[in-house]
Amino acid sequence: MTSQLVVEIIRDTLMATFWISLPLLAVGFIAGIVISLVQILTSIQDPGFGSVPRLAAFLAAIFIFMPWMLLKLISFTTHLLGNLERYAR
């Protein structure tokens, strides 16, 4: 296995990780901004008011995006394991 092949595997792994985590990170970012704006507008500074809706948004995002995330992960794994003879050289 050459160093170029190792770099390609690591790059593909990092890109797959990025694309799989992107929907959850985006939902967390948007939920954080919205909750912060609501806290600013209503002057409510209770920590529970900020964390409970954010956790609910993450849970909803996991349920919504889980089939897509699993398909991406299965596709990556199939691609990686399908080329084992290429890595054995």
Question: For position 24, what pLDDT does the model report?
Answer: 94
CA dist., res. 2 & res. 7, Å (int): 9
CA dist., res. 4 & res. 9, Å (int): 9
Question: For position 89, what pLDDT does the model report?
Answer: 67
CB atoms within 10 A of CB 21: 12
pLDDT tens track, the chain, 89 positions: 788 888 998 999 999 999 999 999 999 999 999 998 988 898 888 877 888 888 999 999 999 999 999 999 999 999 988 888 877 76
